[in-house]
Amino acid sequence: MIWGTVSSASMVGMVISLLLSVGLPIFLGIFIYKKTKAWVPAFFIGCGIFVGFAMILEQICHAIVLTVTGSVIRDNIWLYAIYGGLAAALFEECGRWIAMKFCLKKHLTRENALMYGAGHGGIEAFLILGMSSMSNLLTAAMINGGLMEKTMTALEPAQQEVTYHQLSVLWTTPAYQFYLAPVERISAIALQIALSILVYSAVKTGRKLHLAAAFGLHFAVDFLTVVCASTIPTWALELGLLMVVTVICVAVYKLAYVSSTEKKA
């Protein structure tokens, strides 16, 4: 096995990803509070709902469904995209609705919906991007220092081969791709805030169409992301995702945020 070296440019990208995954949610929480005096616990309710519904309940669902169906869903990109999009939309939007309906019942305002969205998207960024960036940084440092190669001598030859191929991604992946991860998370946080406003509007004003829109948009974005990831370059995917989310945010602002204090439809 020939060990490569993780470039400094790649490691800087990992550091930026880690800092953004931690710093952006905190910045948003503080910014929203200072600008709107939103209820701070709404941020942590958003964190808790994401963990409970997306990281626990949804993962249990995946374990059951993907085990029962075997390779039927896993090996078909269209079925996998449809299933993944539906599952993510179902669990996260149900969790969001429960949060708005019950957890924020006495504090159901536009400002608190923003704070909730920052928490929901923020903890997602930390758990998905932050934790992986931290792990990648530590592993890259061990690879570059020669410690990983020494550590792997304790493994069986077959395990060494599997681990080597998994780790080789760190030095074979073009450095620029490590800078695209923060862009993807910015899009994801913005989308989570927009969806939170839609669900808030559905609960506050009784516009059930807004809840359906949140579910549909969540499904569509996840579905297209999975399908496009295998057909177009990563940079094009992230740029396209950023543009789509920008349009969604503008539409939600005009449709639900500005008019959310109006009476029931």
Tell me the pLDDT of the chain (265 aa) as tens digits: 789 999 999 999 999 999 999 999 999 999 999 999 999 999 999 999 999 999 999 999 999 999 999 999 999 999 999 999 999 999 999 999 999 999 999 999 999 999 999 999 999 999 999 999 999 999 999 999 999 988 888 888 889 899 999 999 999 999 999 999 999 999 999 999 999 999 999 999 999 999 999 999 999 999 999 999 989 999 999 999 999 999 999 999 988 777 665 444 3
Q: Distance (Å, rounded) from C-alpha 160 to C-alpha 154?
A: 9
Q: What is the rounded distance in angstroms from the CA atom of residue 7 to the CA atom of residue 55?
A: 32
Task: For residue 15, give Cα distances in angstroms to 52, 138, 212, 221, 263.
Answer: 28, 11, 38, 27, 47
Contacts of 104 (CB under 8 A, 6+ apart): 39, 42, 45, 112, 113, 116
Q: What are phi and psi of 23, to 5 degrees?
A: -75, -40
Q: How many CB atoms lie within 10 A of CB 163?
A: 15
State the pLDDT at residue 265: 39
Which tokens is 170 given? 């760190």
pTM of this prediction exceeds 0.85: yes
